[in-house]
Amino acid sequence: MLTYSFANLQGESMYAHLYKCIKNDITSGVLHAEEKLPSKRMLAKNLGISLITVENAYAQLVVEGYIYSQPKRGYYVARIEQQPLPQKTERQTLPALQTQTAPGLSFAKSSVPPDTFPYNIWARLLRNTLTTADEHALISDTSAGGVLPLRQALAHHLYQFRGLNVAPEQIIIGAGTQTLYNLIVQLLGRNHVYALENPGYPQLAAAYQANDVFCRYLPMDAQGIRADVLENSGADILHISPSHQFPTGIVMPVSRRYELLRWAAKKSSRYIIEDDYDCEFRLFGKPIPPLQSVDTEEKVIYINTFSKTLAPTFRISYMLLPPHLASLFYDKLGFYSCTVSNFEQFTLAKFIEDGYFERHINRMRTYYRSKRDRLLQYLTQSDVAPALTVEGEDSGLHFLLHLATDAKDSQLVQAAAAKGIQIKFLSDYYHEKVGDSSHTLLMNYTGLADDKLYPALDTLFTVLKPYLKL
């Protein structure tokens, strides 16, 4: 007869305790396969518990497959394939749980100063959304493309700011650009060759590789990827950032843009993915018109994100599909739910509609221009200025700084890191290492608080000075 103690339940129900005791006896081999268990009434009497307690425990064991019943015969232990005992190994810390020790000062990382995010406005709009928006719309599943008010607001914004005349139905909302890349691969297919700029953004290549597509990494001249190089690569899909290439800062001229559009028009399978990730922050002159604005053959997929304008953790991005691809998207991928919550989408829609987004962009453009100007002034007045050459300072949130030096890039990176400064060179962004002597430093000034900018510069150039040709 089975005998178990119920003396120390610690808040656990009696039936759950009995269930666990019998289950442990089965999995440990105390009770053998096909062994008959006591009747419910007999076990209840032996243990001094209620019949309903035994019935509930037996019922749970039956549902999980540990025992089975036969009519008018009773309950039996089921035959279970025993799992091998786990081998004792030293417990390892998972990479995702390891503490990341980032350098205190970085000219390589892109971030948004915490005090520039419009917290009060966003909080107020979110509260208004929760109290005034249609309740059914807030909690209902949405179209794969996102809620209509946000797509309408974006269509209006794109017309006003980027000169794009598009229908809201062409806009697809996603939780970050990496989510949109996944959708694009599923939409266009994995059997194509994807061409990427080299040097380029490492996470972009990783995202495509994770989707099991074959990528070619194409070199660029001073105007970007050449059409003849692209033609010879055998690529079908081209991913570029024509308005401000990362990391080179190249702004593609209109002649090269038309060459690439002609390349795409030659075959129905060819498309261009235009990543316009920091178009809002051209700090001199008018914004560069997007490639999509001159696309007459429906060959350009336009992508943008709010990660640069609001905050890196603000995981809302969007893509603009040509009409025929938008129809294909809903036919092929319309079963997906939008990956951004309705609450955030409705709030962002109001943020754009009420003019807060435009004012925020203008304020941030002024802020970054001031910060860039202070940085450029420092470089001009520095005692190492003769060894420095600035390039691409009018677009985006970083520029290039050429150093007159014979030292290897990696040597300079290590010297700066020893003083707590993180820097990266152009050579760090090539898909395959092509050399260690680009002597071209990426100056990303968004990752430093205002009060740390000058101290970081002082430390950096104190480190670099012995290596420079003055």
Contacts 24+ apart (CB under 8 A), 428-433: 429/199, 429/200, 429/201, 429/202, 429/246, 429/247, 430/198, 430/199, 431/196, 431/198, 431/199, 431/200, 431/205, 431/217, 432/217
* All structural domains of the chain with their residue ranges: 14-77, 105-109+368-467, 133-354
Q: Which fold does the domain 14-77 belong to in CATH?
A: Arc Repressor Mutant, subunit A (1.10.10)
d(CA 377, CA 355): 33
Residue 247, preceding peptide bond in cis (omega within 30° of 0): yes
Distance of CA 114 to the CA centre of its chain: 19
Please tell us whether the domain made up of 105-109+368-467 is placed in CATH 3.90.700.10: no
d(CA 247, CA 22): 63
The position carrying tokens 């898909």 is 431
d(CA 155, CA 166): 6
The position carrying tokens 């202070």 is 374
Residue 240, both tokens: 């570029």
Residue 375, both tokens: 């940085």
d(CA 205, CA 275): 13
d(CA 185, CA 191): 9
Residue type, 283: L
d(CA 307, CA 377): 28
d(CA 332, CA 172): 14
The helix (H) or strand (E) run that includes residue 218 is strand 214-221
d(CA 166, CA 252): 23
Tell which CATH classification among 3.40.640.10, 3.60.40.10, 3.40.50.970, 3.40.220.10 matches the domain 133-354: 3.40.640.10
User: Digits of tens for pLDDT over the chain (470 positions)?
Assistant: 788 988 888 889 999 999 999 999 999 889 999 999 999 999 999 999 999 999 999 999 999 999 999 998 999 999 987 666 566 666 666 666 555 555 468 888 877 777 888 899 999 999 998 887 666 667 776 789 999 999 999 999 999 988 899 999 999 999 999 999 999 999 999 999 999 999 999 999 999 999 999 999 999 999 999 999 999 999 999 999 998 899 998 999 999 999 999 999 999 999 999 998 877 777 666 777 899 999 999 999 999 999 888 887 888 999 999 999 999 999 999 999 999 999 899 999 999 999 999 999 999 888 888 899 999 999 999 999 999 999 988 777 889 999 999 999 999 999 999 999 999 999 999 998 777 889 999 998 887 888 889 999 999 999 999 999 98
What's the chain's Rg over C-alpha atoms?
Answer: 31
d(CA 227, CA 326): 27
Strand ordering across the sheet containing 317-320:
171-174, 317-320, 300-305, 271-275, 237-240, 193-198, 214-221, 224-225
DSSP 234: T
Cα–Cα distances (Å) from 256 to 231, 261, 428, in that order, read 14, 9, 26
Contacts of residue 470, Cβ cutoff 8 Å, sequence gap at least 6: 384, 386, 387, 404
d(CA 365, CA 372): 10
User: Is the distance from CB of 14 to CB of 6 less than 8 angstroms?
Assistant: yes
H helices of 65-144, in order, are 119-132, 135-139
User: Is the distance from CB of 163 to CB of 309 less than 8 angstroms?
Assistant: no
Asked if domains 14-77 and 133-354 share a fold, the reply is no
Q: What is the pTM of this model?
A: 0.84
